[in-house]
Amino acid sequence: MPRPLLTFSVLASAALLLAGCATASGTPVPSSTNTIPIDNCGVEVPVAAPPQRVIAIKSTSTEMLLALGLGDRIVGTAFQDGPIPAKWAAAASGIPVLADKVPSQEVVLNANPDFIYAGWESNFSADGAGTRSELANLGIRTYVSPSACKEAAYQPKRLTFDDIDQEINQIAAIFHVDDASLLAEQHAVLAAIRKDTRGLSALWFSSGSDIPYVGAGIGPPQLILDTVGLRNIAADVKDTWASYNWESVIAANPNVIVLVDASWSTAEKKIGVLEGNPATAKLDAVKNHRYLIIPFASSEAGVSTVDAAADLSAQLKALNLG
Amino acid sequence: MWTIVLAAALVASITFAVTFGPANITPLEVWGSILHHLGIGEPPLTALRDSIVWDLRLPRVLTAGAVGAGLALAGVVMQSITRNPLADPYLLGLSSGASLGAVAVLLLGSALLLPVAAFLGAMVALAATLLLAGAFGRITPGRTVLAGIAVSALAGAITSLIIFWTVTGDSYREILGWLLGSLAGARWPAVGIAATAILIAGIPIMMSGRVLDAFAFGDTSATTLGVNVPATRWIMLTAAALLTGAMVSVSGAIGFVGLILPHAVRLLVGPRHRLLLPLSALVGASFLIWADTAARSLFDPRELPVGIVTAIIGAPVFAALLARRRVSS
């Protein structure tokens, strides 16, 4: 018997034993309520037994698990886009970081997971964590944030908060925990956001310098801009994020610019790009420093999206448009 | 005669290309804006829209022209000096070397050194190719190309290694675009670099038609015609490396311009370099201006790296040229 399978079967029996006891994480719900496998980007994810050893790839996955009180199931994180938000920092302390970027398959298998939760479909590739079918053969279930599905049949036509709620539902179902309080919390944050009514337009500047990479019309950037009451100048582009061009940005002359702050492409760096290009330096938003800053980790769809929208809304309110 | 026609075509290309773009600006407004910057007439556009024309489009079109001319000239020189119809800055490793030099300084964060590093990269690659080609006997065209492939592969691997280790987040997207050849970042400083390279290397190359004609008959004949063969070979190749380095530093590695345009012009006017050199420069300039116009307007509001456009046009044309050569020989 190959070694990984042996370890897995040992673990699986341990998991069965554990499943009997009440675990510290989440609020257990009767397993009989959910038995139908979930169709996740075209891959079936069985829900019969709750996972015990989870690898979370990307910040959105880690935050979802922490928000559902499942931090103690995480055996390792990888490809984290930024620091864990303060409200979960205590729960996340001590979770090993397996890799700064996409973990290799060997790193993944070495952590002995029974479930891998990824933020991007591309995290499951042969040169990444392994393909989903390969991992399934090893008895490891895989799940991708549905909002990041790339197949036309699975990609949300235009992301809504219902899609994020549904992801919360699915993860709760897989782990057999109750999501009512998390959903209520999400809806409360959302309900408190007052849309800006000044009819302002915005550029969502994600990265790039010669060719700007911007938030386009169907993904999380569009959802957040809609929520706070900003018109996305790249809304016509039917994509989540897309390469754009400076000429269209200048022709649109947006009222404000949303800068995504990532360690590898900081907000300051982007301001430098905007001020360094003689054409974009003349934009109203650049001349008047009308910037809204959002951390990269919350610019992707997940439980932090409502917080990002609330934060952006507050920044927008504080902005003096003279 | 051809010179006048092609020069007129280049002027027309610049005139039309600047009127293309995602922003709705009429050709009249575009030219009003440019004339205003040249000191004639009133500004027809707001400062911001004027900036689209003057800070984005015009420098990009002019850079495309200069890069196209430079690559075509470098191609003529390489083909002539190595007596190899397949030679161009790509095949002999110059572009890969220039890219390596440029990527190395780009990631070290010094934009000022970029053209210098690209030139040094091109020179080192050229020297390596020629030394390798001559290491085990006489330099032959076939050996030169094989040596160029080896040098290209090594430079490409080191470039990939540097990118693999240093690129973070999704900045690979921009570096990939640049490696494929892109004029998206061309502003006035790029025009300055490309135009300077044309002035100090391109113009002297254009005036060396007689020497290149002598080379066409072989080293021995060239010597009897009074040409110092080894010195001339190195001077001409250094000039080609200088052109390639400067062009790669502003536009990345744009393929096929140096390879196919000299062939196309030869079909038109024959192999005499006195005409071939300036006409290749003119056709190269117009060609790249149109290729870049297509790259930035076909999939508006997104754009393609122009290197993809030149390869898509260039590869079939080159295949046709090969087939034609076979039939005629």
Instruction: Enumerate the residues of chain A whose CB falls inside 8 A of the CB of residue B296.
Output: 245
Is A210–B21 a contact, with Cβ atoms under 8 angstroms apart?
Answer: no
Across the interface, do B187 and A211 touch by the CB < 8 Å criterion?
A: no
Is there a contact between B309 and B89 (Cβ–Cβ < 8 Å)? no
Name the least confident of B23-37, B57-71, B312-326: B312-326
Q: Which residues contact A87 (CB under 8 A, 6 or more apart)?
A: none
Give the CB-side neighbour count of residue B270, counting CA atoms within 13 A.
5
Residue B22 domain-assigned?
A: no
Predicted local confidence at residue A322, as pLDDT:
65
Identify all chain A residues contacting B63, using CB atoms and an 8 Å cutoff: none
Q: How far apart are alpha carbons A205 and A214 in whole angstroms? A: 5
pLDDT of res. A16: 41
- Which of A269, A249, A250, A264 is closest to A204 using CA atoms? A249
> What share of chain B in percent tops pLDDT 90?
46
Structure tokens at B269: 């006017």
Q: Which residues contact A279 (CB under 8 A, 6 or more apart)?
A: A246, A250, B51, B52, B55, B56
Q: Which residues in chain A have their CB less than 8 angstroms from residue B300's CB?
A: 245, 248
**Contact check, Cβ <8 Å, A211/B177:** yes
Q: How far apart are CA B182 and CA B249, in angstroms?
A: 11
d(C-alpha A99, C-alpha B132), whole Å: 42
Query: Do residues A127 and A281 make contact, with C-beta atoms less than 8 angstroms apart?
Result: no
Strand-strand pairing, A256-261 and A200-207: parallel
Residues 3-62 of B with CB under 8 A from A: 21-24, 47-49, 51-52, 55-57
Residue B147 to residue B36: CA distance in whole angstroms: 52
Query: What is the distance between the alpha carbons of residues B70 and B257, in angstroms, rounded to a whole number?
Result: 9
Give the closest of B55, B169, B185 to A209, CB-based: B185
Residue B324 lies in a domain: yes
User: Mean pLDDT score of chain B, rounded to an integer?
Assistant: 87
Cα gap B273→B79, rounded to integer Å: 11
Strand A213-215 and strand A200-207: the pairing is: antiparallel
Chain A residues lying within 8 Å of B171, measured CB to CB: 207, 264-265
C-alpha A221: how far from its chain's center? 12
Higher pLDDT, residue B171 or B197: B197
* Per-residue pLDDT at B1 exceeds 60: yes
Residue B55 lies in a domain: no
- By CA distance, what is B174's nearest residue in A? A208
Interface test with A, best of B50, B303, B308 (most A CBs within 10 A): B303
Q: CA-to-CA distance for A65 and A62, rounded, in angstroms?
A: 5
B-contacting residues in A 257-276 (Cβ below 8 Å): 262-265
Residue B191: the pLDDT is 96
Nearest C-alpha in A relative to B297: A245
Residue A120 at interface with chain B, using a CB cutoff of 8 Å: no
B323 assigned to some structural domain:
yes
Contact indicator for B148, B237 with CB cutoff of 8 Å: no
pLDDT grade for B328, boundaries at 50, 70 and 90: very low
B153 assigned to some structural domain: yes
Chain A and chain B share a number of CB contacts under 8 A equal to 89
Q: What CATH number is associated with residue B250?
A: 1.10.3470.10
Would you write out chain A's pLDDT as a tens digit for each of its 322 residues?
A: 334 433 444 444 444 444 434 344 445 555 445 678 999 999 999 998 999 999 999 999 999 999 999 999 999 999 998 889 999 999 999 999 999 889 999 999 999 999 999 999 999 998 899 999 999 999 999 999 999 998 889 999 999 999 999 999 999 999 999 999 999 999 999 999 999 999 999 999 999 888 899 999 999 999 999 999 999 999 999 999 998 999 999 999 999 999 999 877 889 999 999 999 999 999 999 999 999 999 998 899 999 999 999 999 999 999 877 6
Per-residue pLDDT band at B293 (split at 50, 70, 90): very high
Q: Locate A243 and state its tokens.
A: 């390469």
Contact A108, A129 (CB under 8 A): yes
Q: Which long-range contacts (CB under 8 A, 24 or more apart) does B213-217 make?
A: B213/B272, B213/B273, B213/B274, B215/B80, B215/B81, B215/B83, B216/B80, B216/B83, B216/B271, B216/B273
B93 sits in the region (left: phi over 0; alpha: psi -120 to 50; else beta) called: left
Q: Contact B168/A264, CB-based, under 8 Å?
A: yes
Min Cα distance A268 → chain B (Å) is 16
Angle, alpha carbons A69-A73-A78 (nearest 5°): 100
Q: Does B169 contact A247 at a Cβ distance shorter than 8 Å?
A: no
Chain A nearest-CA residue for B55: A279
Inter-chain residue contact B303 with A263, CB threshold 8 Å: no
Beta-strand relationship, A43-45 and A38-40: antiparallel
**B169 to A243: CB separation less than 8 angstroms, yes or no:** no
Say which residue the tokens 């790669």 belong to: B248
pLDDT at B329 over 50: no
Give the per-residue pLDDT at A28: 56
Question: Distance, in angstroms, between B90 CA and closest chain A CA?
Answer: 24
Q: Measuring CA to CA, how many Å separate A292 from each of A46, A206, A258, B16, B288? A: 41, 12, 5, 38, 39
The angle subtended at Cα B167 by Cα B188 and Cα B243, nearest 5°, is 40
| A164 touches A189 (CB < 8 A) | no
DSSP assignment of B287-326 equals HHHHHHHHHHHTTTTS---HHHHHHHHHHHHHHHHHHHHH
Question: Which tens digit of pLDDT belongs to each residue from B233-252?
Answer: 889 989 999 999 999 989 98
- Chain B nearest-CA distance from A24, in A, is 36
For residues B177 and B202, the model is more confident at B202
> Is-cis flag, bond preceding B301, omega within 30?
yes
B250 → chain A, closest CA residue: A210
Residues of chain B contacting A248 with CB distance shorter than 8 Å: 22-23, 300-301
C-alpha span between A308 and A293 (Å, rounded): 10
Q: How many CB atoms lie within 10 A of CB A236?
A: 10
Candidates A210, A264, A296; nearest CB to B184? A210
Rounded Cα distance between B50 and B30, Å, is: 8
Q: Is residue B51 part of a domain?
A: no
pLDDT attached to residue A82: 87
The CA distance from A299 to the nearest CA of chain B, in Å, is: 14
Judging contacts by C-beta atoms under 8 Å, the chain B residues touching residue A206 are: 170
Residues 6 or more apart whose Cβ sits within 8 Å of residue B279: B2, B3, B6, B265, B268, B269
φ, ψ at A98 (rounded to 5°): -80, -35
- Rounded-to-integer distance, Cα B311 and Cα B308, Å: 5
Contact status of A244 with chain B (Cβ, < 8 Å): yes
- Supply the ipTM of this predicted assembly: 0.80
Residue B32 lies in a domain: no
Q: In order of start, what are the domains of chain A with their CATH numbers?
A: 3-189 (3.40.50.1980), 195-318 (3.40.50.1980)
Residues paired with residue A115 on neighbouring β-strands, in sequence order: A54, A141
**What is the rounded distance in angstroms from the CA atom of residue A308 to the CA atom of residue A286?**
22
Cβ distance of B56 and A247 shorter than 8 Å:
yes
Q: Which residues of A touch B43 (CB under 8 A)?
A: none
Tell me what pLDDT residue A185 has. 97
Instruction: Give the domain extent around B240.
Output: 67-328
Contacts of residue A119 in chain B, CB cutoff 8 Å?
none
Query: What tens digit of pLDDT does each residue of B210-236 get?
Result: 999 988 888 888 888 888 888 888 899
Is residue B189 domain-resident? yes
Q: Is the dihedral of CA A108, A112, A116, A121 positive or negative?
A: positive
The confidence score (pLDDT) of residue A245 equals 93
Total domains present in chain B:
1
